A and B are shown apart, each in its own frame.
Chain A
Amino acid sequence: MAKQLGFLVDTEKCIGCFSCEMACKNEYQTEVKPRWRRVYQLREASLPYPERNFISLACHHCADPACLKVCPVGAYSKREDGIVLHDHARCIGCRLCTMACPYGAPQYNEKERRVEKCNLCYQKIDRNEEPACVAACPVGALQLIRDLNSFPEPSTVKELPGFPDITITRPSIRFVPPRAGVQMRRDV
């Protein structure tokens, strides 16, 4: 099996601080609107207790990337380590990938009139450094999985409530699900 890099999102640890998201913008000084990485608050209704739990998502560098398939100009490529890269110069801004990706990873840059997305900091990967988002997480809730094929499964899951159907693109992401503590509430 080919190597596949991926992200591990530990929702038990994630505090919804948004550092990862902003560190990504800081690293590439992106335009205002595109959010290569994005922190989402999990819907209260899908949790055992009303809580503030979050997941941090970027491009999942899917095993079966929808963006790559639908792109009419072949702007997408998949590296040997599984990173899905988008070629800005080749993109004609048809935005089909933004419609096809179940995760909203590719986003249109109005100023450059083309799409862009998370590149998993491949330049850092090539230097054996951590991606900017992972390096920014203050609590270790966001981690890099060096190869999903040899990643131990036990404590992690492939999907969470509120995470789109993983059979569409086989995203390279694993989660530690949120752990419900004990709540003594006054409204129950």
Chain B
Amino acid sequence: MPYQLTRRSFLKGLAAGSALSALTAYGGLKMATPAAAVEAGYPEAGAGAKVFRNVCPRNCYDTCSMLSYVKDGVLRKVSGDPVNTFTNGRLCVKGYTYTRRVYSPDRLKYPMKQEPRGSGKWQRISWDEALEIIARKILAIKKEYGSTLPICLNKYSGNFDILHYGIEGMMSSIGYTTRALGTPCWPAGIDAQTYDFGTLWNNDPEDLVNSRYIILWGVNPAWTSIHSMRFIYAAREQGAKIVVIDPIVTATASKADLYLQIKPSTDGALALGMARHILDNGWVDGEYLKANAVGWEEFFAYLRREVTLDWASRITGIPARVIADLAREYATTKPAAIWIGYGMQRHTNGGQNVRAIDALAAITGNVGKSGGGALYGHLETWGFNYAAMTMPKPPGAVGVKKPDGTMSDRYININNFGADLLNTTDPPIKMLWIACRNPLSQDPEPQVVQKAFENMDLVVTVDHFLTRTAAWSDIVLPATTQFEEHGVNASYWHYWIGINEQAIEPYFEAKNDVQIAMLLAAKLNALEPGSCTYPTSGNLEEWVGKEFNPKILDLLGISDYSELKKGPRKAKLLTAAWSDGKFRTPSGKIEIKSSEAPKYGLPALPVYVPEKQASPEYPYRFLTPHSPYGIHSQFQNIDWMQNVNPEPYVEIHPATAAAKGIKDGDWVKVYNEIGYVTLKARITATTAPEILVAYEAWYKDLNYNLNYTVKAVPSDMGKKATGNRGLAFHDNFVNIEKVR
């Protein structure tokens, strides 16, 4: 045992002198004392730092409570905040890169002006100059068109901190403007749950531990909600079975007890087939339905009339006996939870499929139960004042006339932004303000969006980096990160709320959206008194205080928002959503037959709507889900992330690769009638023969944009609750060829 030293031999070695001990039979072993080793070069980054509370404001289920470690005014490291029992003191791969994001050499430092747009000829300007240009343009537009409607805001999920709604407030404070309305992410599912339950509201995800049976349906928490996996594992350790239904073998599917490779977009058929089998075998929870639901009789009639196991098997590609077993296990193992993913509703029948799953949960009595539920998301903790957003219009503001004679902003579809920008007239859109968003990267048909930019007189983008969108702007304004500002955040999944403390000074001249609004207000009013109603004073911490009302304070069990400095708090909501039986539908019950859906041209019952089919020219379905390395176009550009995930690739099934003569590592072109993307092939049987998979991201030095192939095809739902239908991102069909 030449390298195992006992204390005695160590002392002996010392006695013999260090030079000699280096030559002993112990192979030159030295014992290091900790102090000596620190000198040897392993200083802990967070040593001696002051700790602040933050929340990761990115568009993510987990919305992590964070701690930031600051020494000499520099952010030294970050960690999870252990107070939050959901995120449990841990961050994801993205969260741990924050020091590199804050101090990235690519980060925007100053306001900049580009002439001409897209030329790359950037010139540093002062904030005053930038605001002067913007304010004069706003006033000129108002003069020329008689309103501020030619000014359009596109802001969404790049930062979900509540104070960042200040940018909407700024727009309101100058008059009626045009707004990109809707959400690209999850509206079909939101509407589905709105039709069924009155709104979306999931059980506390920490309650998943109480499940005996968990179906993860089109969701990949191993990569997109890592903290949820702990509760799923905990349930399994107590005997729960974990089932994953997904077209591809995701990292989550790899952990499942049972994985079902379903044909994409056919989830509704599976749910209905299960429902029929449950109905036939008398496993329906009739008492629950009688007390809590309406329309189930018609639903059962539909099942008996139109649905069989064989039919479901044919549509979904899953053997009938497997569907029968799944139905039996789900219906007879109580409580059973279904987590409905956002991926599975990004189809032309996505909302309808979610409704079928909701119905499945309802007829088995799993809604409103701890350990049960049809979990999708919630907005129950989002009842803030939106004080930064809610601004009066200046006197004389002109907007779109509504039938009742009042005026409103003008809305265009965020999910068909390019085309709507081009098609909107009277007045046309001439100025764009883009915040917390990167449409040239993340929108479908970015080619069209870029074309629409050409019609603009002025494009202003607020961001951390020179994104694709920022690169096609006239003016970019540097934004602060959550470490440089105060704020408050809630999650659309877990029940926690936390505040952001300003931990460091803003990076160079970066500013928060509310600060920008206040400065622009001052500039506008200096040029034309009374032209803007946004307040021009107040520090950000005061603005945070304005967001709290008695209801939300009560929900958190505090009397003042500042108590959140001691740590994030969990809202005192019902652990099991809907366990009070107070559904928010017009009937006050679960509406398996929806009274609202027909008003939007949709079936009242969760009947099956056939999935979109591939064409002979474009026979492959191109799925473009999230990777663990980024949220949409954020994080992949950070150097640490580039190091871990240096290049994009497309996953191809071995059979498809063989048919196309493609080998692992070959360069391939994925294309359809609107565009293409060129990337490396990765051969893997985790996908299906007719499915290609590539992960959305913005690689700052590559012309890599999956959305070049994505058409703005709407999903079926979203109009009711979010203003516009969602995007059928996953009904994208392509062909593929080897290029070299």
Contact = CB atoms under 8 A, between A and B. Distances in A.
Direct contact of A and B (CB under 8 A): yes
Interface of A: 1-2, 12-13, 15-19, 21-23, 25-29, 32-33, 35, 39, 44, 49-54, 63-65, 68-69, 74, 77-80, 85-90, 116, 119, 122-124, 126, 135-140, 178, 181-187
B37 A27 contact: no
A183 B640 contact: no
B10 interface: yes
B259 interface: yes
Contact of A44 (B3, B30, B686): B686
Contacts of A53: 254
A187 B688 contact: yes
A50 B253 CA distance: 11
A33 B251 CA distance: 26
Interface stretch (B83-91, B181-189, B371-379, B727-735): B83-91
B254 A64 contact: no
B644 interface: yes
A89 B77 contact: no
B41 A26 contact: no
A52 B37 contact: no
Nearest to A38: B644
Interface in B66-96: 76-80, 88-96
A178 B40 CA distance: 38
Residue picked from B41, B46, B688, most chain A C-beta under 10 Å: B41
B93 A21 contact: yes
A17 B226 contact: yes
B41 A184 contact: no
Contact of A19 (B5, B7, B77, B93): B93
B527 interface: no
B410 interface: no
A125 B316 CA distance: 52
Given A89-B41, A136-B90, A184-B259, A19 B96 contact: yes
Contact of B227 (A23, A52, A138, A183): A138
Interface string B19-49: 0001000011111101001111111111000
B93 A22 contact: yes
What 10 A-B pairs are tightest by C-beta distance, nearest first? A88-B41, A50-B685, A15-B222, A22-B96, A18-B93, A51-B254, A87-B40, A77-B30, A2-B4, A26-B96
Nearest to B656: A187
A35 B93 CA distance: 13
17 contacts: A18-B93, A18-B644, A22-B93, A22-B96, A27-B44, A32-B640, A44-B684, A50-B686, A77-B29, A89-B39, A119-B37, A136-B90, A136-B91, A178-B254, A183-B259, A187-B653, A187-B685
Interface residues of B, number: 82
B96 A15 contact: no
Contacts of A186: 261, 263, 317, 688-689
Contact residues of A: prevailing secondary structure: loop
A32 B642 CA distance: 9
A15 B249 contact: no
A52 B45 contact: no
B2 interface: yes
Given A17-B92, A18-B628, A80-B5, 9 more contacts: A2-B5, A16-B223, A19-B95, A27-B46, A27-B77, A35-B644, A50-B249, A68-B29, A80-B7
Nearest to A22: B96
A16 B251 contact: yes
A136 B87 CA distance: 10
Interface string B650-693: 00010100000000000000000000000000001110110000
A178 B255 CA distance: 9
Residue picked from A22, A65, A68, A185, most chain B C-beta under 10 Å: A22
Nearest to A26: B96
A124 B76 CA distance: 17
Interface in B626-656: 628-629, 639-640, 642-644, 653, 655
B136 to A, nearest CB: 43
Contact residues of B: prevailing secondary structure: loop
A86 B98 CA distance: 27
B549 interface: no
Contacts of B256: 181
Interface of B: 2-7, 10, 22, 27-32, 34, 37-46, 76-80, 88-99, 222-223, 226-227, 229-230, 233, 242, 249-261, 263, 317-319, 322, 628-629, 639-640, 642-644, 653, 655, 684-686, 688-689
Nearest to B223: A17
Residue picked from B10, B78, B684, most chain A C-beta under 10 Å: B684
A22 B28 CA distance: 33
Nearest to B88: A138
Contacts of A17: 92-93, 222-223, 226, 251, 628
A12 B253 CA distance: 12
Nearest to B317: A186
Contacts of A90: 40
Contacts of A13: 233, 255
A170 B230 CA distance: 31
Residue picked from B319, B628, B629, most chain A C-beta under 10 Å: B628
A1 B3 CA distance: 11
A85 B685 contact: no
Given A22-B96, A68-B29, A119-B42, A182 B233 contact: no
Contacts of A78: 3, 5, 29, 31
Nearest to B655: A187
Nearest to A126: B34
B99 A139 contact: no
Contacts of A124: 44
Residue picked from A21, A89, A122, A185, most chain B C-beta under 10 Å: A185
Given A21-B644, A50-B686, A53-B254, A86 B40 contact: yes
A153 B104 CA distance: 45
Given A15-B252, A50-B249, A123-B38, A26 B92 contact: no
Given A15-B222, A51-B249, A74-B28, A184 B45 contact: no
Nearest to B44: A123
A29 B628 CA distance: 21
Given A29-B76, A77-B31, A23 B91 contact: yes
A63 B318 CA distance: 50
A69 B90 contact: no
A78 B2 CA distance: 11
B643 A138 contact: no
Contact of A85 (B37, B263, B653, B684): B37
Nearest to B92: A19
A30 to B, nearest CB: 9
Contacts of A116: 41
Residue picked from A27, A49, A138, most chain B C-beta under 10 Å: A138
A128 B80 CA distance: 19
Contacts of A49: 249
Contacts of A79: 31-32
Given A183-B259, A183-B261, A184-B319, A123 B42 contact: yes
A35 B90 contact: no
A43 B689 CA distance: 20
A96 B224 CA distance: 40
Contacts of B42: 28, 88, 119, 122-123
A54 B250 CA distance: 12
A140 B230 contact: yes
A39 to B, nearest CB: 8
Residue picked from B40, B91, B229, B260, most chain A C-beta under 10 Å: B40
Given A16-B628, A19-B90, A68-B27, A139 B230 contact: yes
Contacts of A126: 34
A88 to B, nearest CB: 3
Nearest to A24: B96
A26 B3 contact: no
